Chains A and B, each alone.
Chain A
Amino acid sequence: MGIYPKSLERLIEHLSRLPGIGQKSAARIALHVLRSDKQLSEDLAMSLIAVKEKIRLCSVCFNITDDDPCRICSDENRADGTLCVVEGPGDQLALEEPGTFKGRYHVLHGVLSPLDGIGPKDLKINELLSRISKEKIREVILATNPTAEGETTASFIAGTLLKDRLDLKITRIALGVPMGGDLKYMDRMTIEHAMKSRMPVEL
């Protein structure tokens, strides 16, 4: 404490509050900012403020976006009729990365978590239901994470959807052995799922 000038000290303190940045990395970043030209600081400050001021939720899919509706919701080349339901914006980004899914998304903003006092009303589930009828959805892909709360959220949504739409196709992302995985170190549950969802070999 107190070995740097006050303004530098303050920058280090703010940086070290960010996830994954400890005291040492914070000091390294702060010193780098100090040595760089002023443009870097200005750009950095402006982009930090822009994130807070410009980013909002898309009124259709509830993903974070600069423009409403978001890029994916306003893209006419994406397939209508298929909706992929995810927990949060980070999950949507991960699914979008391979570029193979051409449908649309719906972001729940969390999972059912009674321990934390989060119930169905706290997630974007009602919004999902109204999209299903409005957008003539035929398939819903439930892509919540395979945790206790993610699984429960998926089955809760499936149950709710099927109550008034028996013709709706509902699928769940597969659970199994990951790339580069080793069966010896897999847990029982994963192995059970992997065996259950095995696929015919195509040559």
Chain B
Amino acid sequence: MTKVLASAQDPMFGLFRVIQDDATLDPAYAAHFSDALLERMYREVLRLRVLDERMLVIQRQGRIGFYGEVKGQEATPIATGLALEADDWIFPALREGAAMLVRGFDLSTYIAQCYGNSCDVNKGRQMPSHYSGRAVNQVSWSSCIGPQVPQAVGVAWAMKLQKKPQIAVGFLGDGATSQADFHNAMNFAAVFKVPCVIICQNNHWAISVPSKAQTAAPTFASKAIAYGMPGVRVDGNDVCAVYWAIREAAARARRGEGPTFIESVTYRIGAHSSSDDPSRYRDEAEVQQWRERDPLDRMRRVMSARGLLTEGAHEVLAAQLDDEIKAAIAVVEQGHQPQRESIFEDVYASLPWHLREQREELLATAPAVTHGGATH
């Protein structure tokens, strides 16, 4: 951790960055970023941007019931997917679910979680934007803000007890730091000295509540001090910086040195969710300032500066990714509705008599679910 901490100077007020204003990488860290890694980062951030835009469109068309936009905050989930080992545990909040895509989770199966049909590993039970996948050790956040963070600490603790090499990463937003679950996660992580990283994406807004109405602390990172763990404040729109901060924190955790708290400073460019209209509470000028620090643009400029992106290649790749995404959506929309009796499945490890009774009653009285792709 020493390097990141040193470079961030003071965790209260510093901001760790790797991508410099001229789109070159800070020479102190440049050696860690091969062309291949940068290409991967750029491609993944772009794919998430295109996917996010497409999902918003299908939500507006009523093809899915809800969607939580990620725009402007792509750096953290992508960096997470790239910085961790393939079997480390990830507990995303609303805007980090795409980390699993970076780890190879199938795109159409991912999208299917927003449809809740037969293609969905959650079997139509979970709300959109709550992505989990046992195959990639990712557990969805809870709709009630906060519970996933102490759960991540619990996983890390279990890893430590079982002497397993995996670590756990738990996410939350700036608003969620007000919940008791945040306190518990931080306190247990430090007291039990578990191999975990707790990452707060400070996107400056919790729906309509600005982060300054959430805490009187100078920064979120500074909260780590009182819990007895290192705090890092990183430029959350700098994929390379977030990547490196997580790498170091993960390495520290794996060495048995305990947890790290990372504040990833970013901005929610879009609405809180498909049920929100941010123009009612925030100033367009503020949004514009952050658009100028867009993580995708910055990554794109890094690529151009390195000579890795030729004229027009960005548009070509974006179009190609959009085609892939549209094809994946088409696959999902071929899926069918879950069986009506599935309501009673997975409530318990096996179907108890009282649910068997209710299942029979349902089959005898309720009409069969008509098949069709979308859930609407």
Partners in one complex: no
| A residues adjacent to B (C-beta < 8 A) | none
| B residues adjacent to A (C-beta < 8 A) | none
